[in-house]
Structure 1
């Protein structure tokens, strides 16, 4: 990917992302009196370089900061100008970024960064590099205030700008084809393929949440901001059951019903529950993405609710880590969480072990145990062992009539107990894994009924019908 192709300017990026005419430049912070000629390193010709860059771009620095409307949400916006010394971070750019974050916190506004940068400014040496600490500190303070931060990766996004503003955002979007990576084009290892340093590659590896074309950027940003800025403390209601409403008579019947290919899956539940939703994607740890776990934020009943939904596959380490990331983000932004459990169990192949499946599950257990916002769980299919329990809320877990929850799959239990595979149905009965059994054992609050059913949960009552809860 060459460095000579035309690139989007800071103002063009602002026009793509914001409501036309809404952008207002923030007053710049005072400049340091008596600044050194040619910068802190007295780099010969540095002042002339900056003057030429200003004349060429019409900007006074490598980042333009202001406020704007994106959809219905007012934001603080930082747009990098690559034409100004490669969009590099120096002392003055750090001043502007810090001032923008201070303004955002004072006015309780989310922060959107439109990034196109080659990294730290060489002509300022370590003074420039130290701006990364400064930017990270400001970002952390904004995050601690419960204000969302969204990054949009333009071309290019490399070096410290990627490692702080880009990769450190709550949600990271990228324009297709953009160069994205810690190493810029001129300092990559010999023989390294440019294909490893693209937005698409970062999305595949789990570092970018979504690829967004310029034409859809404004709408996508508006949707994200509209959801992330609507926190509440009220728990998410459990979805209504979409499948069968009669209860299984045996444990093995419960297992077979949960495994039936026509049984409603997570996508159907999410479609029925949310009027609109967005997805985060990736564990931000190099483990990639788990297609079997859907994580994101949606709108239900006029409220924003974060969700994690298993899709009936063995859950991989990346899935658990992405879920952990979502739960932690929900806690910071005061979003209630809904989890949908449906997995035979955690992936246990050699690759999953190398990727740290045990640690990934442990991290999610801890995230749910310490969640800062209420978590609601509905078991919609298979609830296999710790791989399923890791997504279950403590004290607010519900089950559907075509689900089961078990310490382990009956077939695996037969193998562990050195019993014939044909004993699995008897073991399923012994495990008391039917939805009504799970309620009586105190693991679930009740069985979620279909929409319109009027029943109450009463775990003390021996009647199966009394274990339903439809409201």
Structure 2
């Protein structure tokens, strides 16, 4: 079985760009054999330049990607393994500065083996320089979308790659902090792949080369069209009449026939793209759906519970989504539907409390408007963390409760036959919540 195709910098640019104009570099003439006077360094650079046609390991320029302008940063792995040296740092800093001055998103097309040995610690400290440029660009409210090529390792992965807002990867690409020559001899090579990084929550998607331009273009359009207007409330897709009792509300919300998050998202968005993973080693695809989509010509971010117990990685992914949308000025839609937060031992080991706390904080401090619709079960704090104070609506086949009626009865030491009465006492129906001033009925 052959490995992934290794694209050169210009080939990678051609794969995604409609047009490309290289930025002027103003490279300074390097000292003989570099800053460390490393014997043979000049010969190695000359050989790399002759082989690749490039004068450094990175090519930077402005491009149109499916009609959206962006700054592209394309690494040339054939030039000393795409390694970062001082001149690489110069070019990267200039590219990020240009992006901020012209309000353009940044797209690193990464293929690198790490820092350049022949420049020692001076090469390694370029990572700090790159990290600062990325942070300044983030503070400026400009999106960064990385594309991981083969290979993406070392500091290039730990800054330009993993530090991007959205991380896409080509199939089969080697991706990991440890390159192939520095790993333990018994390391599982499958852990250092694009697919493994997506599964671990460190990248968002693996995209086939023939679909990369279209996918990247969609991401750029979605993330570069901020809107200060709140996301409109989705229309209810299920029952039209309010429930007769609290227990009726619970039964409706738990019905397998009730529309779930996927139905609401499909009805609401013309098209949407998902983000995946909490960037801490976890994903929750069965409990939380997050991403950006187009609704009536506007970009809206979404975080939607699916009706399952939400795991810590799901809460952290939603936090990541809301903070990114807030930074880019994109309104957020949240759909509440969970019996509660996952409460097994593994969830505790994964930091359930801290993950929920972070989400509460992200919603509370968001400057962009957050709109919430309760579409099913609103189970305690695990549901409330995703709800926007003062901007929450509920469908007729939903409920919201301090705790599930069965658990409330157990805590109050009531027999099982009093569960239904307890549900009524909790006042969990949508109309009860409206009377209590906890949800809105306008819109």
Is the shorter-chain TM-score for this pair beyond 0.5, marking a shared fold? yes
Does structure 1 retain, via aligned residues, the 8 Å contact 2:162–2:202?
A: yes
Does structure 2 retain, via aligned residues, the 8 Å contact 1:207–1:288?
A: no
Structure 1 portions without partners, runs of 5+: 447-468
Taking the aligned partners of 2:26 and 2:229, their CA distance within structure 1 comes to 40
Taking the aligned partners of 1:385 and 1:255, their CA distance within structure 2 comes to 13
Q: In the comparison of the two structures, how many residue pairs are matched?
A: 443
Coordinate RMSD, CA, aligned: 1.2
- Shift of residue 48, structure 1, vs aligned partner: 0.9
Matched, 1:439 2:438: no
Moved over 4 A (4+): none
Structure 2 portions without partners, runs of 5+: none
Matched, 1:48 2:43: yes
Give SS of 2:47's match: helix
Q: Hey, what does 1:451 align to over in structure 2?
A: none
Aligned equivalent of 1:280, options 275, 288, 291:
275
Q: Hey, what does 1:304 align to over in structure 2?
A: 299
Matched, 1:295 2:290: yes
Matched ranges for 1:191-206 at <5 A: 191-206=186-201
Taking the aligned partners of 2:261 and 2:69, their CA distance within structure 1 comes to 33
Matched, 1:24 2:17: no
Q: Hey, what does 1:39 align to over in structure 2?
A: 34
Q: TM-score, normalised by structure 2?
A: 0.98
Aligned equivalent of 2:317, options 315, 322, 326:
322
Does structure 1 retain, via aligned residues, the 8 Å contact 2:4–2:171?
A: no
Taking the aligned partners of 2:422 and 2:55, their CA distance within structure 1 comes to 73
Matched, 1:257 2:252: yes
Taking the aligned partners of 1:353 and 1:328, their CA distance within structure 2 comes to 24
Does structure 2 retain, via aligned residues, the 8 Å contact 1:29–1:95?
A: no
Matched ranges for 1:39-438 at <5 A: 39-438=34-433
Q: TM-score, normalised by structure 1?
A: 0.93
Does structure 2 retain, via aligned residues, the 8 Å contact 1:290–1:315?
A: no
Does structure 2 retain, via aligned residues, the 8 Å contact 1:39–1:47?
A: yes
- Shift of residue 25, structure 1, vs aligned partner: 0.5
Taking the aligned partners of 1:5 and 1:396, their CA distance within structure 2 comes to 48
Taking the aligned partners of 1:417 and 1:240, their CA distance within structure 2 comes to 37
Q: Hey, what does 1:8 align to over in structure 2?
A: 7
Taking the aligned partners of 1:10 and 1:148, their CA distance within structure 2 comes to 21
Give SS of 2:42's match: helix
Taking the aligned partners of 1:435 and 1:383, their CA distance within structure 2 comes to 11
